[in-house]
Amino acid sequence: MALLPIYETPDPMLRQISTPVENVDDELRTLIRDMFDTMYDAPGIGLAAVQVGVPKRLLVMDLQEPADPDDPESPPVKEPRVFINPEIVGASDRKVPYSEGCLSVPDQYAEVMRPDRVTARWLDENGEHHEEELDGLLAVCLQHEMDHLEGVLFIDHLSKLKRDMVLKKLAKVRRERGAKAA
Ligand code: GNR
Ligand code: NI
């Protein structure tokens, strides 16, 4: 198991435009495994390669929803998903708010409006093509991860006032963490 360092805002790494994956090979599959280890450890429900310092068009997701929807404490079902060179080929007109967080903006949450359904195309870890319509949290998370491939963070979708509030709270959390660690 290998945990990779997660880059946090305002690191310029997160502003890189990720480049297409050329070869779906064993080296890439090793990176994918390490990204899952890192995402589950964080814990998070998605991770783009650029967040671990590899600006390639690759992301992993696992919503890890509880087995029993009525019992949030029930053990999560593992459903790992890999998206290589993903594209959104269609989106609904209807937009819905969702309170988003990001491992690169730790412990901060804010509502972002996005299309509630998207049709996406991608390759999996075996180089197989997929096209599927996604909705719910899966659609939200895919759009959040695909933003990372363009150097965009969820805070970029907020008004300047809200963004500054989030960044101020982040600075405060970091000051308190720094004080505790010392
Ligand atoms: O763990 C994560 N949770 C989350 C919640 C709502 C909307 C998007 C996300 S993705 C985030 C992990 C992350 O930063 N992925 O880039
Ligand atoms: Ni994120």
User: Which residues, in sequence order, are bridge partners of residue 134?
Assistant: 118
Mean pLDDT of 99-114: 98
Which pLDDT value is given to residue 179? 79
* Cβ of 59 below 6 Å from ligand 1: no
Virtual torsion, Cα 136, 141, 146, 149, nearest 10 deg: 180
pLDDT tens for residues 134-168? 999 999 999 999 999 999 999 999 999 999 999 99
Q: What's the rounded Cα separation, in Å, for the pair 97 and 137? A: 11
Closest-lying ligand to the alpha carbon of 103?
Answer: 1
Confidence (pTM) = 0.96
DSSP string, 100-167: EEETTEEEEEEEEEEESEEEEEEE-TTS-EEEEEEEHHHHHHHHHHHHHHTT--GGGGS-HHHHHHHH
Which pLDDT value is given to residue 182? 58
- Determine the distance separating the centroid of ligand 1 and the alpha carbon of 126, expressed in angstroms: 25
Q: Which residue has the higher pLDDT, 55 or 179?
A: 55
- Report the residue count for the chain: 182
Beta carbons of 87 and 45 less than 8 angstroms apart: no
3 state SS of 178? helix
pLDDT tens for residues 83-99? 999 999 999 999 999 99
Domain ranges, ordered by start, for the chain = 12-177
Which pLDDT value is given to residue 178? 85
Which pLDDT value is given to residue 177? 87
Which pLDDT value is given to residue 158? 98
pLDDT tens for residues 7-49? 999 999 999 999 999 999 999 999 999 999 999 999 999 999 9
CATH, domain 12-177, list 3.90.45.10, 3.20.20.70, 3.40.50.2300, 3.40.50.300 = 3.90.45.10
In sequence order, which residues have a C-beta less than 8 Å from that of residue 114 and are 6 or more positions away? 95, 96, 98, 139, 140, 143
| Best of 61, 62, 141, 158 for a ligand 1 pocket test (most atoms within 8 Å of beta carbon) | 141
Q: Measuring from atom 16 of ligand 1, which residue has the nearest CA?
A: 47
